[in-house]
Amino acid sequence: MSEHLPPLREVIKSHELQAKKAFGQNFLLDLNLTGKIARVAGDISDSVIYEVGPGPGGLTRGLLSNGAKRVVAVEMDQRCIPALNQVSEAFENRLAVHQGDAMKSDELELLNLAPNETARIASNLPYNVGTALFVKWLTLEKWQPWYASLTLMFQQEVAERIVAKPNTKAYGRLSVLAQWRGNVRIAMRVPAAAFTPPPKVSSAIIHFEPTEPLDANVQLNELEKVVERAFGQRRKMLRASLKGLGVNAHTLLENANIDPTSRAEDLTVKQFVELALHYQKMRA
């Protein structure tokens, strides 16, 4: 158990695990904090947790101490593997560690879920791939997804973009994708001083639970095209920013009952879905 493990600062020193910018690393060493983050994920006693970028294992310890059935971790930094293997031994091999790139990993193959097992993702995501991983998990073709929830650490600015509402500067592509397919909230904020080394910005934990999409008829790739085009030139009116979609933008907006002088940030997620549905019809 965790009491058999050395403090994380000792682990970092003995394994020479100074954080590297190349891996987007900022380590959490306060086990009270990592335990609190683990509890944001909910009752994990029947869950297999997928963790990306565990580093020396701060959040990993929190997840296992709070009763996770199993943790499957993917770590790109070879230096961290021996430290994580120590965690696995201390927690009766409830931790499986894989060295590799999470962007290229087949999560279901690594998790090897039994029929009655629930999967959740919980990670202090490396800053350099955090948004890309989140989009990967949001844009799975098959929905409902294989995971029951996401509990993820982001830079605070990114977290605020994910939960942003219309008519705000933070509202954009991430907001629409996340809120189209689930319920998302900022569960807690984490000051820069909590990390080693401290980053230049504060961080936040978001908790996402997938739901049925607002309209199951909308195709993911069509919604992404519309949203990307709209926010790609967010200062322009939609009648101008949507011109590159290959259909008459004015007719598209008229069919969706949207004012052509509106801008991307004026539209609700539901309106973006309606726009994508009409775009599909016009392209058919």
Task: Tell me the per-residue pLDDT of 258-282, one tens digit each, with 9 for 90 and over.
Answer: 999 999 999 999 999 999 999 999 9
Q: Which residues contact 41 (CB under 8 A, 6 or more apart)?
A: 47, 49, 63, 120, 122, 149, 151, 207
CA distance 143 to 269: 18
Q: What is the pLDDT of residue 3?
A: 59
The last residue of one of the domains, among 160, 192, 210, is: 210
Q: Are residues 67 and 140 in the same domain?
A: yes
Q: Are residues 175 and 276 in the same domain?
A: no
Q: Are residues 111 and 43 in the same domain?
A: yes
How big is the chain, counted in residues? Answer: 284
Here the CATH number for the domain that contains residue 33 is 3.40.50.150
Asked whether residue 57 carries a pLDDT value surpassing 70, the answer given is: yes
Here the CATH number for the domain that contains residue 257 is 1.10.8.100
109 domain-assigned: yes
Q: How confident is the model at residue 166 (pLDDT cuts 50, 70, 90)?
A: very high
pLDDT above 70 as % of the chain: 96
Q: How confident is the model at residue 1 (pLDDT cuts 50, 70, 90)?
A: low
Q: Are residues 190 and 225 in the same domain?
A: no
Q: Are residues 22 and 159 in the same domain?
A: yes
Mean pLDDT of 29-49: 93
CA distance 127 to 111: 23
Q: Are residues 228 and 195 in the same domain?
A: no
Question: Structural domain tally of the chain?
Answer: 2
CA distances from 237 to 166, 225, 241, 263, 265 (A): 15, 17, 6, 5, 10
CA distance 58 to 76: 16
215 domain-assigned: no
Q: Are residues 174 and 260 in the same domain?
A: no
Q: Are residues 182 and 263 in the same domain?
A: no
End-to-end CA distance of the chain: 59
The last residue of one of the domains, among 169, 190, 210, is: 210
Q: Which residues contact 116 (CB under 8 A, 6 or more apart)?
A: none
Asked whether residue 112 carries a pLDDT value surpassing 80, the answer given is: yes
Q: How confident is the model at residue 130 (pLDDT cuts 50, 70, 90)?
A: very high
Answer whether 0.95 is exceeded by the pTM. Answer: no
Q: Are residues 128 and 250 in the same domain?
A: no
* DSSP notation for 102-128: GGG--HHHHH---TT-EEEEEEE--TT
Residue 225 is part of which domain span? 220-283
